[in-house]
Amino acid sequence: MTSCDERFRQLFDQSPDPTWIIEDNRFVDCNEAAVKLLGYSSKDGLLSSHPSDLSPEFQPDGQRSFLKAERILEAAMGDGIQRFEWIHRKADGTTFPAEVTLTPMTLDGRTVIHCAWRDITARKADETALQLAASVYRNTIEGIVITDSQGVIISVNPAFSEITGYRAEEAIGNTPRLLKSDRHDDAFYRHLWQTLLQTGQWQGEIWNRRKSGEVYLQHQTITRIPGLNGATAQFVAIFNDITELRRKDERIQHLAFHDALTGLPNRLLLADRLEHGIAVAERDGQRLAVLFLDLDHFKVVNDTLGHDRGDDLLQVVANRLHTAIRGTDTLSRLGGDEFVVVLTDPENEAEVAEVTERLIQAIDRPIELGGVMVHVSVSIGIALFPDDGMTVVSLMKNADAAMYAAKAAGKNTFRFFNAAMTRRAEERLQIESDLRQAIEKGQLELFFQPKICLASHLACGAEALVRWRHPERGLISPADFIPLAEDTGLIIPLGEWVLEEACRTLGQLGRHGIAPLKMAVNVSAAQFHEGGLEEMIRAAIERHGLEPGNIEIELTESMVMSDPDRAIRVLGKLRSTGFTVAIDDFGTGYSSLAYLKRLPIDTLKIDRTFVLDADADEEDAEICRTIIGLGNSLHLNIVAEGVETARQAECLAEWGCLMAQGYFFARPMPAGEFEAWLRGHGSITPDLMHQRKLNHQFASGQ
């Protein structure tokens, strides 16, 4: 070997790149680098092998290594240098990518191929990583925006377009302000930039606007990418649209705090609201009422009609309760047939009782469930803050206990937790049951209060006023039991008794030689609306040999004005028989003058409250004068109620009021006393009284 050959041999052997000589498609020589790369101990085992022997059976393109190698070697022999990538196999069976260069050359007069490998494992890995990154960038569902250091968009991925509606061409060159909504103030963006520049990253939720104009919520991470010198090279923002997610969250949140069946706040939210309510009430010195509701007989409905119908029923109940409370009150369902109402800032117990009564009435109406009429009722227990408890737990517990008391009291009713209040409610119940027996047991008494002719101070009539002599409670005022009698329907028999007794007394007075006077009898709304009033009164006077002119019916203004057309018919009938009619407590209701003119009535009774201060208060005096004027121009008698002083009587007489009634002249008295009083004071007959009225009208030019 020449020294030149020697040098080339060294060059060949010491080259860092694996190098081979191929002859007749077989490796005939190789250098140390090749032996080392393949992991062999010497080249002996490698020589005379075909390149495919040092390769896996197939190349990545699917071609058989042997055939592909043959083709490339042939091409190298024919066309010259070939450069390509090839997968080789090492001694241990692992493979690696190589860039192979085949160079045909002549050696000792024979054509051989110089084959050089470069291991491109690292380059391949980089390429793969880049491809992967690009694929992620293209395929991720997260929107990605890359801006330059000035915030100008230089690249966006397809998901960006998907979410925002802007195509890449539309976004590039713009800034992310393109997406800005008006949901955030300047401070928000200032803070974002500050954080981003200081910490290199900002993460958070931001409302942006799509190209379509729709505002949406995105969760976004913006990262500052530093360049070589540490200055910002780019900003990368990655975001996803979480609008739907947020909606779902809100739905879940709603479900967590609301009853699925009725949509009402559940126990958790109730506790929260109640706690808040207590804090407010405590701060503002207000009351708070917790009403614990439990349906009566719900189980029966549920068991007989099925759970679906039971659910329907609960929904109807929820709706009815809801419409019976104010917007500021909380209605919640605890589960099953239990509801709780929290009333904020009630004025007093009476107001709470009123709302509670309204809730009871709202449920106490039939409900149609799939063609079947069902009737349920509700029992309600009430606990008040601060009297009955200062905490959520104690108020709920006491309201619950009170609810059981309501159940025990016969259901379809309510109970206050407070013992005193419960006692009062029980008392009312007791009175109610006592009242039922009052008539039979002869506990009712009729008192009589004279009506006075103001000119002569003689009696010109009387008003019959009922009293109840209760065996334990003593004399009870009608103001205390008439409303109760009205509520319970007991007013009908009571009214009949009063009328009968009034007529009986009148008859008796006549037999005792007292000139017949006009007796006024109060009639309540229930009697008035029941019908048959005229027949009933007529029968009573006939029984006692009286004339219709002896009886005056007193009706309150509000009773008449609640249905004036009906009142006109009923009163017309009464008057055509000869009874006279007075409007009681006039001035307290809301009379329509148009109706007043058409009403078949005889007398207006000025309400006591105006007479009370008529001699001192100019406004009340004016009201009295107005009513008197009104009465005179409508040719009605005027009776002033509640005259307590001589001065009041003088004033009223001066203003043209002919009749009065009041403690100044006489208090209501039992029949015997009344008879004696009449004898002592003398009376004037209705006829004479009528004459006086005509004279008065003549004198005042009416």
Q: According to CB under 6 A, which one of 343, 382, 425, 466 is a site residue for ligand C2E?
A: 466
Q: What whole-number distance in Å separates Cα of residue 606 and Cα of residue 624?
A: 7
List interacting residues with Mg ion (CB under 5 A).
522, 554, 584-585, 641
Phi and psi, residue 459, nearest 5°? -70, 135
Q: What whole-number distance in Å separates Cα of residue 69 and Cα of residue 55?
A: 10
Task: Pick what 644 binds: ligand C2E, Mg ion, none; C-beta below 5 to 8 Å, kind-dependent.
Answer: ligand C2E
Interacting span for ligand C2E (CB under 6 A) from 192-200, 266-274, 399-407, 662-670: 662-670
Q: For residues 237 and 498, which CB has a smaller minimum distance to ligand C2E in the complex?
A: 498
Give 475's strand partners.
469
Contacts 24+ apart (CB under 8 A), 481-485: 481/431, 481/435, 482/524, 484/428, 484/431, 484/432, 484/435, 485/435, 485/524
Task: Pick what 241 binds: ligand C2E, Mg ion, none; C-beta below 5 to 8 Å, kind-dependent.
Answer: none
Distance of CA 553 to the CA centre of its chain: 49
Shortest CB 520 distance to ligand C2E, Å: 8
The 3-class secondary structure across 170-204, one letter per residue, is: HHCCCCHHHHECCCCCHHHHHHHHHHHHHHCEEEE
Q: According to CB under 6 A, which one of 277, 310, 461, 668 is a site residue for ligand C2E?
A: 668
Q: According to CB under 6 A, which one of 478, 587, 631, 656 is a site residue for ligand C2E?
A: 478
Shortest CB 605 distance to Mg ion, Å: 6
**Residue 461 near ligand C2E by CB under 6 A:** no
**Residue 646 near ligand C2E by CB under 6 A:** no
Question: CB of 113 within 8 A of CB of 105?
Answer: yes
Q: What whole-number distance in Å separates Cα of residue 584 and Cα of residue 523?
A: 10
Q: For residues 464 and 678, which CB has a smaller minimum distance to ligand C2E in the complex?
A: 464
Q: For residues 31 and 449, which CB has a smaller minimum distance to Mg ion in the complex?
A: 449
Question: CB of 340 within 8 A of CB of 292?
Answer: yes
The 3-class secondary structure across 243-272, one letter per residue, is: HHHHHHHHHHHHHHHECCCCCCECHHHHHH
- Six-digit token string for 573: 């009938």
Q: For residues 272 and 563, which CB has a smaller minimum distance to ligand C2E in the complex?
A: 563
Interacting span for ligand C2E (CB under 6 A) from 198-206, 342-350, 415-423, 637-645: 637-645
Q: For residues 348 and 477, which CB has a smaller minimum distance to ligand C2E in the complex?
A: 477
Q: Other C-beta atoms within 10 Å of 307: how many?
A: 9
Shortest CB 356 distance to ligand C2E, Å: 26
Shortest CB 353 distance to ligand C2E, Å: 22
Q: Among 342, 355, 349, which residue's Cα sits nearest to residue 421?
A: 349
Q: For residues 59 and 449, which CB has a smaller minimum distance to ligand C2E in the complex?
A: 449
Q: For residues 554 and 620, which CB has a smaller minimum distance to Mg ion in the complex?
A: 554
Task: Pick what 559 binds: ligand C2E, Mg ion, none; C-beta below 5 to 8 Å, kind-dependent.
Answer: none
Interacting span for ligand C2E (CB under 6 A) from 62-70, 154-162, 179-187, 657-665: 657-665
Residues 530-559, mask of contacts with ligand C2E (x by CB under 6 A): ------------------------x-----
Interacting span for ligand C2E (CB under 6 A) from 228-236, 261-269, 309-317, 659-667: 659-667
Q: For residues 69 and 643, which CB has a smaller minimum distance to ligand C2E in the complex?
A: 643
Q: For residues 176 and 495, which CB has a smaller minimum distance to ligand C2E in the complex?
A: 495
Task: Pick what 1 binds: ligand C2E, Mg ion, none; C-beta below 5 to 8 Å, kind-dependent.
Answer: none
Q: What whole-number distance in Å separates Cα of residue 31 and Cα of residue 42?
A: 10
CA dihedral (534, 535, 540, 545) positive or negative: positive
Question: CB of 46 within 8 A of CB of 64?
Answer: no
Question: CB of 484 within 8 A of CB of 435?
Answer: yes
Identify residues 559-618 at the interface with ligand C2E (CB under 6 A): 584-585, 608
Q: Among 463, 460, 466, 419, which residue's Cα sits nearest to residue 446?
A: 466
Q: What whole-number distance in Å separates Cα of residue 622 and Cα of residue 573?
A: 34
Residue 64 falls in which region: left (phi positive, over 0), alpha (psi -120 to 50) or beta: beta
Task: Pick what 662 binds: Mg ion, ligand C2E, none; C-beta below 5 to 8 Å, kind-dependent.
Answer: ligand C2E
Residues 479-518, mask of contacts with ligand C2E (x by CB under 6 A): x--x------------x--x--------------------
- Six-digit token string for 416: 């206050």
Burial zone of 208 (CB within 10 Å; 0-12 exposed, 13-18 middle, 19+ buried): buried
For the chain, the residue count is: 702
Question: CB of 143 within 8 A of CB of 164?
Answer: yes
Number of residues that bind ligand C2E (CB under 6 A): 24
Q: For residues 259 and 620, which CB has a smaller minimum distance to ligand C2E in the complex?
A: 620
Shortest CB 462 distance to Mg ion, Å: 11
**Residue 666 near ligand C2E by CB under 6 A:** no
Q: Other C-beta atoms within 10 Å of 531: how many?
A: 10
Q: What whole-number distance in Å separates Cα of residue 462 and Cα of residue 571?
A: 21
Task: Pick what 450 binds: Mg ion, ligand C2E, none; C-beta below 5 to 8 Å, kind-dependent.
Answer: none
**Residue 337 near ligand C2E by CB under 6 A:** no
Shortest CB 413 distance to ligand C2E, Å: 26
Shortest CB 605 distance to ligand C2E, Å: 7
- Six-digit token string for 69: 């190698």
**Residue 663 near ligand C2E by CB under 6 A:** yes
Question: CB of 462 within 8 A of CB of 448?
Answer: yes
Phi and psi, residue 211, nearest 5°? -60, -35
Shortest CB 601 distance to ligand C2E, Å: 15
**Residue 31 near ligand C2E by CB under 6 A:** no
Residues 411-450, mask of contacts with ligand C2E (x by CB under 6 A): --------------------------------------x-
Q: For residues 661 and 683, which CB has a smaller minimum distance to ligand C2E in the complex?
A: 661
Which residues of this chain interact with ligand C2E, rule CB under 6 A?
A: 449, 465-466, 477-479, 482, 495, 498, 522-524, 554, 584-585, 608, 641-644, 661-663, 668
